[in-house]
Amino acid sequence: MLKLFTPNYYIRKYTSLRPEFLKEKGIKLLVCDIDNTLVPHDVALPDEEAKSFLKKMQEAGIRVVFISNNVEERVKTFVDGCELENPVSYPFACKPLPFSYRKMLKEMAVSRNEVAVIGDQLMTDMLGANIMRLFTILTAPIVQRDLSFTKFNRIFERMVFFLLEKSGKLKRGEFDE
């Protein structure tokens, strides 16, 4: 059970993630969460750092798609601001339910072992992607403030972090890179 919450890789911020690392693992597509993974949830547009990270991935041949639980307008505004060619996004994804991941796999014609997912939440991003057996990358949230429903998730997240630490699987703040 705890395994479903455990990321394969744990980093402080998305900027630690290099395309070479993903390519070595055979990853061809990176699924990005937006809120508190790439920008704070109350910041509408990507900053230069986020834009260059996404461009760097695409230039290295790794496709980027966005799967977010947030509403369409927020996701579209952010994704348009990334200035990517043919961006693909799945708003209102209801993570951890796996159907958006499943839809994405079908539409993007990739297999599970070619997909990595980066996100800041154990209860949504990691659980959903682990259910789908995708490669999971956890980041620390960019800022501590959260949306109200995320605050609720964080209470459970703290409990899961406690259990993960107790079982020696993952310690909060002890990053792989």
Count of positions on this chain that bind Mg ion (CB under 5 A): 5
108-127 positions binding Mg ion, by CB under 5 A? 120
| Buried b / exposed e along 3-29 (16+ C-beta atoms within 10 A) | eebbbbbbbebbeebebeebeeeebbb
Q: Residue 36 interacts with Mg ion (CB under 5 A)?
A: yes
Residue 80 Cβ vs Mg ion, minimum distance, rounded to whole Å:
19
Q: Are 76 and 40 in contact (CB under 8 A)?
A: no
Q: What angle do CA 168, 172, 174 make, to 5 degrees?
A: 80
Q: What angle do CA 75, 40, 20 make, to 5 degrees?
A: 80
Contacts of 70 (CB under 8 A, 6+ apart): 34, 35, 41, 91, 92, 147
Q: Are 29 and 114 in contact (CB under 8 A)?
A: yes
Q: Of 12-20, 27-35, 43-51, 95-103, which part binds Mg ion (CB under 5 A)? A: 27-35
Q: Residue 33 interacts with Mg ion (CB under 5 A)?
A: yes
Q: Of 10-18, 23-31, 37-45, 166-174, which part binds Mg ion (CB under 5 A)? A: 37-45
Q: Residue 35 interacts with Mg ion (CB under 5 A)?
A: yes
Q: Residue 157 interacts with Mg ion (CB under 5 A)?
A: no
Supply the DSSP symbol for 119: E
Q: Of 35-43, 49-57, 71-79, 92-100, which part binds Mg ion (CB under 5 A)? A: 35-43
Residue 111 Cβ vs Mg ion, minimum distance, rounded to whole Å:
25
**What is the gyration radius of the CA atoms in the chain, in angstroms?**
15
Residue 121 Cβ vs Mg ion, minimum distance, rounded to whole Å:
5
Residue span 63-102 as binding mask against Mg ion, x where in contact by CB under 5 A, dash where not: ----------------------------------------
